[in-house]
Structure 1
Amino acid sequence: MAKYNDLDPKKWKEYEDINTDSLWIIDRRDNSGAHSGNYHGNFVPQIPHQLFARYTKKGDWILDPFMGSGTSLIEAQRMDRNSIGIELQPEVLEEAYGRIQTETKNKCIAKVILGNSRTVNMDDLMENIGIKKLQFVILHPPYWDIIKFSEDRNDLSNMETLESFLEGFGDVIDNSTKYLEKNRYCACVIGDKYANSQVIPLGFHCMNKFIEKGFLLKAILVKNFGETKGKASQQGIWRYRAITNDFYIFKHEYIFVFKKVK
């Protein structure tokens, strides 16, 4: 049995629901129970489910520094993992916390923290919770300024330049992985953007931030990207624009998996 998950190698044929390929095709979002697809920009619950199954054990502590609607924490509750979520917007945190509580189990804990993941005091947070290490960190940052999540100038979606976005994201990496155990894992879910008639490879910029900070890149996963709320009724328009211009419509996003080796 691996030191970082509960999977039994002798039963590997039984794990038919575990993705082992680098291409993830997810037909529809899991909206069961407390999960909700109403929050603009949240990811499908199947992503944290797969990552937690592969890289965590029951009772482990998981941190999500971009909590949003609480998808990661809800999934952690279902899988008997302890979790911490950090959220910048008080109204978003309040709404998410109410739904997270409906998934509460006696054997695991879910903590939500209001604050900026760049600067939140992780020393105090860990001491207050009473733990010394984290076993997994999952990051789903804003895709820079594609969606404006708030008017807060500290919000990464309000950064004026790519450089300032990446600087801020680098701060989140440093702060959120400070207490991640050595030889444990973290993951980043991110897509690219199109601006000024060119592709901005935001995903790979974020990937390089982790590598620059000494993390070992373990996987580049590509997930199909469904229609967004903004484009749900504009499929024909976007297809017309693509055919009559020189670009392709984004239908994928990345899940980068890293190992902390320093």
Structure 2
Amino acid sequence: MNCNLTPENFSLEKTSIWSFPDRGSWATHTNKYRGNWSPYIPRNLIIRYSNEGDSVLDQFVGSGTTLVEAKLLNRNAFGVDINPDAIKLCKSAVNFDYSSKSHIGIRKGNAQKLSFLSTESIDLIATHPPYADIIKYSEGLANDLSQYPINKFIEEMKPVAAEAFRVLKRGKICAFLIGDVRQKGTLYPLGFELMNIFMNAGFSLKEIVIKEQHNCIGTKKWRSKINDFLLLAHEYLYIMKKT
């Protein structure tokens, strides 16, 4: 664990373009879990859109980045993941010595069925779903959305959006990070697809943040070549409101 529990010289983002060349390594944050988001993202979301003592949900909790920030910022938090390996990593990540008033709950579960959460019980959702099957986080695990090709993934995200809408309180924020994908020369606008899914579930669109990508494995592979396509160097952070 890093001895620093907060980032140095942190300030809230004030524009619709976010860029974190230094992804952040305070507390227990690392980049060892492939595809996890920079802790600067949930920190910005939690500070801007919630208060101390509020309840934060990450239903694709992965290695626990969101929950670590919730603990540091004195929010209660629930982390859910279908993958038991991710649950182990998450429990380890939040197990650090810090005088926090928060309660952290972690459980293996399905983002499509959050039956353990009451309707309108969550103050903020901050999550980072898989990008279809671009990174597979398990081998044949049932209901693991990272196993699904793009079209199947899009369909399976519809009940995820419906559950997010159900558990979130009125007037509160649901934010998720997603990127587009390219397969066999074709670009699939996964970000726009999920934006529409969440809007069809009842959310209104508050903000679209363009988050610049850094140090991607695929980018390093193609950067030195002349290609007939542009390298994807951004993701979308959709900030939705339940009105």
Q: Say what the alpha-carbon RMSD is for the aligned residues.
A: 1.9
Relative to structure 2, which stretch is displaced further, 92-101 or 67-76? 92-101
Is 1:126 the counterpart of 2:117? The answer is yes
> How do 1:44-59 and structure 2 match up within 5 A?
44-59=38-53
Please list the CA deviations of residues 181-233 of structure 1 after superposition, one character each: whole Å capped at 9, or x if unmatched.
Answer: 101111010001001312111111111111112211010100110123x34xx
Q: Match of 2:54? A: 60
How many pairs are equivalent? Answer: 234
Structure 2 partner of 1:239: 223
CA distance in 2, matches of 1:179, 1:59: 17
Percent identity of equivalent pairs = 34
Q: Is the 8 A contact 1:88 1:116 kept in 2?
A: yes
- Does 2:22 correspond to 1:28? yes
Aligned-pair CA distance for 1:253: 0.7
CA offsets, 1:55-94, max 9 Å, x none? 0000000000000000000000011111000011112211
Equivalent residue, structure 1, for 2:157: 169
Q: Helix, strand or coil: the match of 1:84?
A: strand
- Structure with larger Rg: 1
CA distance in 2, matches of 1:105, 1:207: 37
Q: Which position in structure 1 is the counterpart of 2:238?
A: 256
Q: How does 1:213-228 map to 2 (within 5 A)?
A: 213-228=201-216
1:103 CA drift (Å): 5.3
Q: Which runs of 5+ in 1 are unaligned?
A: 1-15
Please point out which of 91, 108, 113 is paired with 1:114: 108
Are positions 1:82 and 2:64 aligned together? no
Q: What secondary structure does 2:117 align onto?
A: helix
Kindly indicate whether the alpha-carbon contact (under 8 Å) linking 2:28 and 2:93 is maintained by their aligned counterparts in 1.
yes
Which residue pairs with 1:101 in the alignment? 95
Shift of 1:106: 4.3
Q: How far apart, CA to CA, are the structure 1 residues paired with 2:59 and 2:224?
A: 38
d(CA) in 1 for partners of 2:99, 2:76? 10
Instruction: Write the mapping of 1:114-193 to structure 2, written as runs, cut at 5 A.
Output: 114-121=108-115, 125-126=116-117, 133-151=121-139, 152-160=141-149, 162-193=150-181
Partner Cα distance (1:170, 1:17) in 2: 34
Q: What TM-score does the superposition give when structure 1 sets the normalisation length?
A: 0.84
The separation in 2 between residues aligned to 1:158 and 1:79, in whole angstroms, is: 33
Mapped partners of 1:19, 1:147: distance in 2:
28
Contact 1:220 1:254 in 2 (8 A): yes
The answer (yes or no) to whether the contact 2:16–2:210 under 8 Å persists in 1 is yes
**Structure with higher helix content:** 1
> CA deviation digits over 1:120-172, x for unaligned, max 9?
42xxx236xxx961101112110111111112141111113x33211211111
Moved over 3 A (4+): 103-106
Unaligned runs of 5+ in 2: 1-9
